[in-house]
A and B are shown apart, each in its own frame.
Chain A
Amino acid sequence: MNVKEKRFVAVVAVLALAFGTTPVANAMHIMEGYLPPAFCIAWGVICIPFLVAGYLSIKKTLNENRKAITILAMAGAYIFVISSLKIPSVTGSCSHMTGTGLGAILFGPAAVSILGLIVLLFQSILLAHGGLTTLGANTFSMAIAGPFVAFGIYKLGLKLKINKHVVIFLAAALGDFFTYLITSFQLAMAYPSETGGIAASSLKFLAVFAPTQLPLAIIEGILTVVIIIGLETYASSELTDLGYLAGGTK
């Protein structure tokens, strides 16, 4: 562990203690059966343009280089495994990364939209996280909105010449945070409050999930930085293949 990492981990520890609680839930998958049919369809339709763009981008990559199919598949499997791992926590409770920020930074948001859709389907079949009817809503929050925000922050940060690791932390943490905002909003639209409508209901969901999701977003940011530092140290040639370093400052 080098000095940078040490300093970083120390900050994490302080933050984790400051929050006092550790996340209990995993990334916010809306469960099967939670959304009324109209919302299931609407969110699915909203995803279509992004998925088509992702599909075309993957298809173009594969036409240029057929070999990329195993790399893409590995990327998908990697996102799945990363999101199913128990992340470290102080109290021993069980929580998971979303892995979408990392995926967007490494593989680009277009590819992540399709990979994310496949990963979410496998998560609902293999892990009972999320569901088939809520696949559209979950895809929008986790495979589209989160990664696009993470990627946008990452690119913007690099343009502004902010320290790369700070940018990666912000991208991953805010990408996760944005996913949580969108999910709360999706739930609020389906179940508006009687007195305050959708806005009040959004606030309710944000408040209820905040104790688990805020620390989770910060831990996700930190872990993403640790992972990227490891990759930069040992795998710069592989990262160049993925296109990560091409647009970077190194």
Chain B
Amino acid sequence: MENIIKSYLDEMISSKVPQEVHMHSNAIKPHHHHKIDHKHGEGSSIDFYAYNSKIRHWNPTFKVLLSVLTLLLCIVLNNHYVSVAVIIAMTYLTVVKGGLPLRAYISVLMIPITFILLGTVTIGIDFSSEPIGQYNLNLGFCYVFTSQAKLWAMAFLILKVFGAISAMEMMALSTPSSEIIGVLRKAHVPKLIVELMYIIYRYIFILMDVHTKMKNAAESRLGFCDFKTSCSTFGNIASNMLIVSLKKATAYYQAMEARGYDGDLVFLEQTGSVKVSQLVFTTGFLAGLILLWYLTN
């Protein structure tokens, strides 16, 4: 906890931001379960890992560009050797360089597994009234069929998706969102949107905190004892949360005005410079991916 508070305060103090926002930003509650399941909502563990990453001090623009370029190459080249190379390289960066526990990394990669399995199986199989294809199954009124080639295509698609996810997660697990937003600002995304993103990012944690408190209060009063009660409790918490958040919104605006907000949010950013060795390695890696594609195609 100490670490996050420190890193939060380090990176975003500026006289034009309401103090309340900082106070509440400390309220992130990372959870340390590294189970392979679909677990989130009670706080964002990815954000927590990003602040603790050993490669956090790397220049954020460099990390975002590396991640996005790798991601694009992985999708555009559409080659399974490239996908495997991307998975290995990005896992190396995140786990070895970034110091993220392997189990935590795998659990993050496994979040979309339901979608991937359902989606890929759907692509792999097909229906027909004739028994065609290498493997088919008679369902009575039609045949489900697939072929060796399709099964390979499915496997390659899964590799490509995991390559893309590992490239994106390399960025997400090493760069806190406020720094990613900073990169967007440098990329000339409209000021209004960047400002909204900065504020929304902070409010998310405030609301999560409010929600955790309300949920605990309801749970200790048997608010989730059965399905019916859970539904009404969920609805009541959600509506109450909107009321609380609107009240807070007014208070925050006043706090911002009291600190001289005149329509511009300015944030202090600490960004390390890009090392020559990093640039050399990146260029080599991206060129290597293209070469690999060229050689195997």
Which of A10-18, A42-50, A141-149, A150-158 lies on the face that meets chain B? A10-18
Known: A69-B196, A70-B256, A200-B127. A128 touches B243 (CB 8 A): no
The residue that A226 contacts in the complex, of B76, B208, B232, with Cβ under 8 A, is B232
B128 lies within 8 A of A131 (CB): no
Cβ contact within 8 Å between B231 and A226? yes
B41 touching A32 by the CB < 8 A rule?
A: no
Known interface pairs A31-B115, A77-B204, A114-B193; A9-B228 also in contact (CB < 8 Å) = yes
Tell me, rounded to whole Å, the shortest Cβ–Cβ distance linking B259 to chain A. 13
Given contacts A25-B115, A81-B204, A226-B234, are A16 and B72 in contact (CB under 8 A)? Answer: no
The interface stretch among B4-12, B88-96, B163-171, B283-291 is: B163-171
A81 to chain B, nearest CB (A): 4
A59 at interface, CB cutoff 8 A = yes
Per-position 1/0 for B30-51, Cβ under 8 A of A: 0000000111110010110000
* Residue B114 interfacial (CB < 8 Å): yes
Shortest distance between the CB of A109 and any CB in chain B (Å): 17
A162 at the B interface (CB under 8 A): no
Are B46 and A128 touching (Cβ within 8 A)? yes
Please state if B249 and A74 are interface contacts (CB–CB under 8 Å).
yes
B interface footprint on A16-60 (CB within 8 Å = 1, 0 otherwise): 100000001110111111101100100000000000000100110
B168 and A131 form a contact (CB under 8 A): yes
Given A32-B164, A132-B168 in contact, is the A67-B234 Cβ separation under 8 Å? no
A118 CB contact (under 8 Å) in B127, B196, B207, B245: B196
For residue B72, which residues in chain A have a CB less than 8 angstroms away from its CB?
A: 37, 133
Are A69 and B253 in contact, with the CB atoms below 8 A?
Answer: yes
Q: Contact check, A88 vs B227: say whether CB atoms are below 8 A apart.
A: yes
Knowing A69-B196, A127-B44, say if A16 contacts B242 (CB, 8 Å). Answer: no
Count of CB-CB pairs between chains A and B under 8 Å:
247
Is B161's CB under 8 angstroms from A223's CB? no
Task: Report B-chain residues with C-beta under 8 Å of the C-beta of A227.
Answer: 235, 238-239, 242
Beta-carbon contact of B231 and A32 below 8 Å: no
Give min CB distance, A68 to chain B, whole Å: 9
If over half of A's interface residues share one DSSP class (helix, strand or loop), that class is named, otherwise mixed; here it is: helix
Given contacts A85-B211, A204-B122, contact A32 B168 (CB under 8 A): yes
The 17 sampled A-B contact pairs (Cβ below 8 Å) are A9-B228, A13-B227, A32-B168, A55-B192, A59-B192, A70-B252, A81-B241, A87-B234, A88-B234, A114-B193, A125-B171, A128-B109, A128-B165, A128-B172, A222-B231, A226-B234, A235-B239
Q: Is the Cβ of B253 less than 8 Å from the Cβ of A122? A: no
- Select B78's contact among A12, A29, A36, A86, beta carbons within 8 Å: A36
Please determine whether B118 and A32 come into contact, CB atoms closer than 8 angstroms.
Answer: no
Specify which chain A residues have a CB less than 8 angstroms from the CB of B250 in the assembled complex.
67, 70-71
Report whether A88 and B239 are in contact in the complex, using a CB–CB cutoff of 8 Å.
Answer: no
In the assembly, what is the distance between CA of A1 and CA of B229, in Å?
10
The yes or no answer to B219 lying at the interface (CB within 8 A) is no
Q: Which residue of B lies closest to A86 (CB)?
A: B41
Give the residues in chain A near B75, CB-CB below 8 Å.
Answer: 33, 36-37, 40, 133
Residues on A with beta carbons closer than 8 Å to the beta carbon of B199: 69-70, 73
Smallest CB-CB separation from B109: which chain A residue? A128
Most buried by A among B127, B157, B231: B231
Contact of B196 among A72, A125, A194, A200 (CB under 8 A): A72
| B243 with A118: CB separation less than 8 A | no
Are the C-beta atoms of B249 and A70 separated by less than 8 Å? yes
Complex CA distance for A58 and B197, rounded to whole angstroms:
14
Given A85-B41, A223-B231, A226-B235, CB of A118 within 8 Å of CB of B256: no
Check if B246 sits within 8 Å of A71, measured CB to CB.
Answer: yes
Contact A125 B192 (CB under 8 A): no
Do the beta carbons of A124 and B168 come within 8 Å of each other?
Answer: yes
